[in-house]
């Protein structure tokens, strides 16, 4: 019995890996998307608009299945055409990270776009006047101020993203959800409560992760809001 519990707990590591990995992908895509949406280049605007529309219109699970199975098929077709005939399997961990990152990149795009827009233009203009390059202005002037404005919405996205990681069990990753399913099947003869027990454990772990995230992000928010005067009524 205990070994199954520890097994599920160990599965939390994979869940966190998926969550962390997809967060990195999502932030990168979100920054790219926000720059594309705010640029004066029309095709880039359209591309970014298309990205957020199709992501929001289609459920995560369908995206995951489409990218996992579809990506696999596409990769093998491409490899076949260049004369490589062995069947290649995509690592489900990689597929999960890329898919969740791809989906939440669209949400991060909106988060970052709003935050960048809220920073006064004069800030970056002053940077240019000092002879800073575009990327230096972005990372030295815009990003540090943007973090405070983006944090509330970023917190929301992160909480939803963590919960979305439970979906990777559907494409065959042995995360804690999958391990709980296996454990509850294996321990049925040991305890009559087996079916519920492991799912409750997983739910508790998710609850712990979201609670810790909330506390940490709140501290971060306090730190980045230092020196900002709130409206007093």
Partner 1 sequence: MDFSSIFEPDTLRMFAQAILVSLELTIISVVIGGLCAIPLAIMRVSRKRWLSLPVWLYTYIMRGTPMLIQVYLIYYGLAQLDIIQNNWDTVPLLKPFKDAFFCAVLAFTLNTCAYTTEMIAGAIRNTNHGEIEAARAMGMGNWQLMRRIVLPSALRRTLPAYSNEVIMMLQGTSLASTVPALTDITNVADRIRSEQYLVFEPYLTAGAIYMALTFTLVWLFKLAERRWLSYLQPRKG
> Which residues of the shown chain bind partner 1 in the complex (CB under 8 A)?
54, 56-63, 65-66, 69-70, 72-73, 159, 163-167, 169-170, 177, 180-181, 184, 192-193, 195-196, 199-200, 202-203, 206-207, 210-211
Q: Which long-range contacts (CB under 8 A, 24 or more apart) does 58-62 make?
A: 60/99, 60/100, 60/103, 60/164, 60/167, 61/167, 61/170
Q: Which is nearer to partner 1, 117 or 207 (CB)?
A: 207
Nearer residue to partner 1 within complex by CB, 118 or 193: 193
Spatial distance between the Cα atoms of 137 and 123, rounded to a whole number of angstroms:
9
Nearer to partner 1, 62 or 82 (CB): 62
CB 183 to partner 1: min, Å? 11
Please tell me the distance from the alpha carbon of residue 129 to that of residue 28, in angstroms, as a whole number: 27
Cα(121)–Cα(136) distance, integer angstroms = 15
Contact 19, 165 (CB under 8 A): yes
- Does residue 84 contact residue 7 with C-beta atoms inside 8 Å? no
Judged by DSSP in three states, 76 sits in: helix
Min dist. Cβ of residue 233 to partner 1 (A): 11
Q: In angstroms, what CA-CA distances link 174 with 16, 18, 192?
A: 13, 11, 24
How far apart are CB 64 and partner 1 at their closest, in Å?
10
Smaller CB distance to partner 1: residue 124 or 157?
A: 157
Shortest distance (Å) from residue 184 CB to partner 1: 7
State in angstroms the smallest separation of the CB of 216 from partner 1: 15
- The nearer residue to partner 1, 163 or 218, going by C-beta atoms, is 163
What's the closest the beta carbon of residue 15 comes to partner 1, in angstroms? 10
HEC states along 115-177? Answer: HHHCCCHHHHHHHHHCCCCHHHHHHHHHHHHHHHHHHHHHHHHHHHHHHHHHHHHHHCCCCHH
CA distance from start to end of the chain: 58
24 vs 193 by CB, closer to partner 1: 193
């Amino acid at each position: 019995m205990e070994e199954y519990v520890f097994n599920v707990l160990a599965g939390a590591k994979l869940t966190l890996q998926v969550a962390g990995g997809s967060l990195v992908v999502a932030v990168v895509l979100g920054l790219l998307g926000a720059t594309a949406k705010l640029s004066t280049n029309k095709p880039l605007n359209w591309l970014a608009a298309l990205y957020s529309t199709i992501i929001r219109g289609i459920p995560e699970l369908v995206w995951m299945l489409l990218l996992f199975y579809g990506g696999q098929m596409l990769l093998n077709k491409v490899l076949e055409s260049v004369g490589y005939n062995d069947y290649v399997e995509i690592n489900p961990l990689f597929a999960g990270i890329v898919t969740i990152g791809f989906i939440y990149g669209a949400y991060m795009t909106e988060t970052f776009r709003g935050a960048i827009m809220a920073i006064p233009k004069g800030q970056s203009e002053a940077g240019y006047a000092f002879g800073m390059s575009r990327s230096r202005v972005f990372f030295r002037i815009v990003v540090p101020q943007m973090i405070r404005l983006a944090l509330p919405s970023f917190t929301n996205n992160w909480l939803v993203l963590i919960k979305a990681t439970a979906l990777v069990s559907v494409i065959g990753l042995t995360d804690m959800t999958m391990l709980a399913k296996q454990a509850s099947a294996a321990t049925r003869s040991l305890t009559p409560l087996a079916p519920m027990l492991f799912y409750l454990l997983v739910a508790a772990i998710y609850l712990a992760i979201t609670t810790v995230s909330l506390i940490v992000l709140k501290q971060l928010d306090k730190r980045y809001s230092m020196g900002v005067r709130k409206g007093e009524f």
